[in-house]
Structures are given as structure tokens and as C-alpha cells.
Structure 1
Amino acid sequence: PVIQEAARRSLAPSTTLRNLLSWLQGVPSDERPPVYLMTYFNLFLSIGLDQFVTLAQRAGGIRGAVIPDLSFEDAGYVRRIFHAGGMSLIPFVAPTTSDGRMKRIVARSEDFIYLVSLLGTTGKELSETGTVSRLVSRIRLLTDSPVCVGFGIQSPDVASKVLGVADGVIVGSRLVREETDPDRWQSLLAAFCDVARSVPSFSTAGV
């Protein structure tokens, strides 16, 4: 429901991937962190993958994309097009991922691996980090790529605990839920950023 409502608000003023990329082009590159776009595959298809890469290159600073509804098995063609444009396609690993499939996925990892912390829909809170810690350990036996954890990061406190076992956190629905209150949104974002900066290996945030 949180993401569905966010999509409704976004579509109301006719937001598109094309005009988002156009807007990014107007933001000075030294004033924004590396950008990873996260959205559904049909938006890339609507403008064409090659055209997307061209527009992303023109915008500058876009490192790659996270496409939740694109399976690893179907991603080869997309990955090749992204690579040609200097971008990465971020892979997912979940609690249900088998050892064999995990090995194939991480072999294709680049900038980082998106670790889904729990089963279910976005908006649930991660109650403990034991499962995440075990999953991170399994992944690190196979690759040196950073592991960033998403799903369940509903507070700066949870983010801090997860950063004790992983390389990064991905915060989505928690910030989306507060976007209708700009002051509260800004305060919450600042709190998450403070947690990220407390990590010794912290260098730069991604959006």
C-alpha cells in the first residue's frame, strides 16, 4: 500500500522516467551522490533500453539500476546493454535463494548486492539481524562485493544494527511514508544519514 500510494502521487503530475532523467540532467553533478534508479521493468521498456542508456548518460552520475521484477535468469540482455553504457544492473539475493542460485547471482555482481532481509511486502520492520548476518556470511564466502540490505529498514536504530553486519542499507518505504510531511521527511533522512556516516567504511551515499 505504501509504494502503491507513492506511485499514485507520482503519476498525478505525469511523472515519467524520461522527465526524471531530464530533471537529473539539470542538477550539478558535484551536488548529488551516485544515483541508482529503482523502478519496474516496464518503465525501461516504455522508452526502450538503448534510449534509456542514452538519456542516462546525458543526465550523468547514474551508476546503475535496481529492477525488482526482472529475474536474474531474464536479465542477461539488459545487463549487456547497461554495461555498454557504463552502468550496472544490481542483483538480488533473498532468504529463499539456494546456494547454487546464489553462486550464479553473485558471480555477476558488480557495484553491490541487494540483500532482501525478509519475506513479504515492503513496509514491514526487521525485528532481528540474525538471519541477515547469516545471509551476509553466505554471500561473503562467494564474493567481495559489498552487501546492502533492503526491506525492513524502518528506523535509524534498525539501520544501525544492520550496518553492524552488512556494508550498507537501502531505505525505501519508510521515507516514502513520510514524504507528505516535508519537515518530518527531512528530519528522518538526516537521522538515517547520520547513521550511515557513523560507519568507519562510509565514503559516499547513493540515491
Structure 2
Amino acid sequence: MTRIDDTFARLSSEGKKAFVAYVMAGDPDYATSLELVKGLPGAGVDIIELGLPFTDPMADGPTIQLAGQRALEAGMTLQRTLELATEFRKGDDTTPIVLMGYYNPIYNRGVETFLRDARAAGIDGLIVVDLPPEEDSELCIPAQDAGLNFIRLATPTTDDKRLPKVLQNTSGFVYYVSITGITGSAEAEAGDVGPEVARIKAATDLPVIVGFGINSPEKSEAIASVANGAVVGSAIVKRIGEGQATDEVLAFVKTLADGAHRA
């Protein structure tokens, strides 16, 4: 059982849906980012998705691309991202952290070294958007052997033929991408998402969490009502990019979390 499994078991026993928040590690700088991440659980966040800055983030829209650029320009690296997680763990040993990013920085560090260091830093799961199931031997299976969940993305174009392949080595939860395209590019609609979530849930016992296109408390509630929870990233990152104070950003996050928890 990982912290992710424990969190979903607890939420299920409470009859609640999950709220997952994405922030880019090191945006706009290490100290501000650490302060924000430390404040997320108090704002109602059940699982933290921590973005790993990368120079070529092909799945991300302009908002998160700019966040990655800010972080990189401030000196953020994979090593510093793991250090941030380590600092967070000194005060919180229960909130799951999912590291979300691309394979290149992990490959450059070396998979075995990375997995050892990620475990030591308190990382619970990985979302690596550019590794398809056909490459499971690269990272997915070693990660699960090391005790980390490997969370796969399903999309509106994942048909019934492809879905079993996507699910075969997934653990923790399934991340359903509610729209086609990049992050922040459109709004999710519960009427479209609900049947897709039901289709995925018919094929797996894992929780299904929906992300992309959720930007308000109302949308968070609507999407969580047809899934096991909601993920918000771009709408939070946008406020960081605008220079809002940490307490302002966390106040906004709380409204989103409250929405998901009402569902």
C-alpha cells in the first residue's frame, strides 16, 4: 500500500472525492514553490502533482510551459525537485506526491539511481507522459518494483482496443485527460466525461481522476461528481505566473478543493 492507495481508501471511507493539485516545482523560485507546496494540504489538497521542469514539454500548453521556463531560469533541476520533496516530507508524511514530467531527465540520471533517490525523497508515484505502455520495461515496471505507483494517462482517443494496454501495468489511479490537445486549451464538460469514466471503470478497479480543462470550483465539483476526483493545474499555475501571493493562490486552491469535496 502506498500513500496514494491509503489516501483513496480514506476518502472512500469518508464518501469523498479526491482533489489533486498540480504545481511546477521551482516556479517562480525554489523558496516560493516550497512554501506553496507546504500549504497545499491545508488548502484541502489530497494529492500533490509536482511538475518536473523540462525544456521541451510537448503535452503542456503555454501556461505550464511558461512555468517550466520560470523554474528552469531560477535554477530548478531534477535534483532540486527531489530536495523540495525531501523538505516537504519533514513536515508531512501522509500527503502523496506524484512527480509528473518527461522521461529525458530521468533517463539522464539513470533509472536505478532516480528511483532510489525518488523513494528516499518521499515521492509516491510517477506520471511520465512520453513513455507509452510499449516501453514499460524502461521505467514503469522498475518503478513499481521499487514501490512507486506508475500512473497512466487515458484520453478521449483511447478506444476499447487500446484501453487494456494502457491499464495493464498502471497503479495508484488512472488519469483521464478530459479533452484532446494540450493543457489549458479547453474546458472539461461533465456530460462528455461521465460516460468515458464509466467505460474506464468497467475495465479497472483503480480510481479514475479527471484532469485538463478544470478551472473553477463549479467545474471541479461537476467533474468530481462523475469520477473519483478532479485535477487542476493550469488555473493554479496561471495565478502563480501572475505573481499572486502564496496565500492568495492557496485561497483559490481551497475553493477548488471544496468544490471537489462537495461532489
Equivalent residues of 1:110, 1:145 under 8 A apart = yes
Equivalent residues of 2:217, 2:260 under 8 A apart = no
Aligned match for 1:15, one of 56, 60, 76? 76
Shift of 1:84: 2.2
Name the count of aligned residue pairs: 198
Equivalent residues of 1:115, 1:150 under 8 A apart = yes
Q: How far, CA to CA, are the matches of 1:147 and 1:29 in structure 2?
A: 28
Shift of 1:76: 3.0
**What is aligned with 1:69?**
130
Instruction: Provide structure 2 residue ranges, at least 5 long, that are not aligned to the other structure.
Output: 1-61
1:86-120 per-position Cα deviation (integer Å, ceiling 9, x unaligned): 00111111101110110222232211001010112
1:115 counterpart SS class:
strand
The question of 1:186 aligning with 2:247 is answered no
Instruction: Provide structure 1 residue ranges, at least 5 long, that are not aligned to the other structure.
Output: 200-207
Aligned match for 2:201, one of 123, 129, 140? 140
Q: How far, CA to CA, are the matches of 1:141 and 1:3 in structure 2?
A: 32
1:42-86 per-position Cα deviation (integer Å, ceiling 9, x unaligned): 1211211111111112112x2111111222222333112102210
Q: How far, CA to CA, are the matches of 1:137 and 1:26 in structure 2?
A: 38
Shift of 1:11: 0.6
Aligned match for 1:48, one of 110, 118, 125? 110
TM-score (norm 1): 0.89
**What is aligned with 1:203?**
none
Q: How far, CA to CA, are the matches of 2:112 and 2:170 in structure 1?
A: 22
Q: Determine what percentage of the aligned residue pairs are the same residue.
A: 33
**What is aligned with 1:98?**
159
Of stretches 5-14 and 16-25 in structure 1, the one that deviates more from structure 2 is: 16-25
Where in structure 2 are the equivalents of 1:161-200 lying within 5 Å? 161-179=222-240, 180-182=243-245, 183-199=247-263
Distance 1:153 1:71, change over 3 A: same
Q: How far, CA to CA, are the matches of 1:189 and 1:87 in structure 2?
A: 26
Shift of 1:154: 1.2
Q: How far, CA to CA, are the matches of 1:184 and 1:25 in structure 2?
A: 25
The question of 1:160 aligning with 2:224 is answered no
Of stretches 7-16 and 125-134 in structure 1, the one that deviates more from structure 2 is: 125-134
Distance 1:184 1:30, change over 3 A: closer
Q: How far, CA to CA, are the matches of 1:23 and 1:119 in structure 2?
A: 32
Shift of 1:29: 5.3
Shift of 1:32: 5.7
**What is aligned with 1:204?**
none
1:134-164 per-position Cα deviation (integer Å, ceiling 9, x unaligned): 1111111111110000110111111100011
Distance 1:15 1:129, change over 3 A: same
Distance 1:127 1:193, change over 3 A: closer
1:6-55 per-position Cα deviation (integer Å, ceiling 9, x unaligned): 01110112101111112221232536611001111112112111111111
Structure with higher RCO (Cα < 8 A, 6+ apart): 2
Shift of 1:171: 1.1
Shift of 1:127: 4.9
2:157 counterpart SS class:
coil
